[in-house]
Amino acid sequence: MDDIPKSAANYPPGHPTQADISAEIADIAANAPTSSDPNWGAHRTLIDYPPYRSSILRHPSANLELVDPETIELASPAFGHRDVHWTEFDLTSQVNGEPQGERIIVTGKMTDADGRPAAHQLVEIWQANAGGRYRQKKERHPAPLDPNFNGVGRVITNADGEYKFVTIKPGAYPWPNHENAWRPAHIHFSVFGNQFTERMVTQMYFPGDQLMPLDPIFQSITSAKGQKSLIADYAHDVTVPNWALGYRWDIVLNGSNRTWFASEDGPEEDE
């Protein structure tokens, strides 16, 4: 037990602790605007959210501008250097060996605001490995790399808007927002709907994670309904006996019941 370090990082004087961040989160929640406020925004992500330190400098500071949707649609997105192969849905079989960790199945349905399926649309995911480490050059978390896990996958939804991934449950990892800050286990999702303006980048979380109440990124979504939309449900009917646990996570692209988007679009270690 004496070999366990008190901290693996040096923090400057005055650097916020988890207690400081939790107090800020609680204060914002206690003073959140209600529907009677003309500037009510509790139904969406707070893009200027002080507990999430980098959002202070990164959130839009200029007024929004109206654009012509048809003009935007003239420029098609680049999905990658090649077509999506049917094997890319399985992140556990992309390398020669079996990755370490808990195998899981993540599936769901992508729809628009009226419940119509978003058929034949691209869904991309990226995630940390079971030890909480991303496979990228800028990664600084001293967790082991898994040579058999790349952490990225793509799939095209079927005619009913359904998608499915086989992967490894990601681990929690530290990030530099404050002292002893840890991100809950999550999978990053990028989805393209029936039009490019419906593109959404967000994160899927796992039920019962003790780190979610402490996480300023998750807590920047201040409504209980919005937070719930980001948490997958354990699905016993998706679980495969003696092989993998199953989770179901549906995605709504737009409208009042849409899945809430994230206020960042990549691994926090790079920020």
Would you name the residues annotated as active-site residues?
134, 173, 183, 186, 188
Tokens of 192: 């393209």
- The DSSP 8-state label assigned to residue 254 in this structure reads S
- Please choose, from the candidates 92, 230, 251, the residue with its C-alpha nearest in 3D space to the C-alpha of residue 157: 251
Measured CA to CA, the distance from residue 193 to residue 258 in angstroms comes to: 12
Measured CA to CA, the distance from residue 152 to residue 66 in angstroms comes to: 34
In which residue are the tokens 């990164």 written?
A: 58
Strand partners, 246: 105
- Please choose, from the candidates 239, 169, 154, 238, the residue with its C-alpha nearest in 3D space to the C-alpha of residue 208: 169
Helix (H, G, I), strand (E, B) or coil at 183: strand
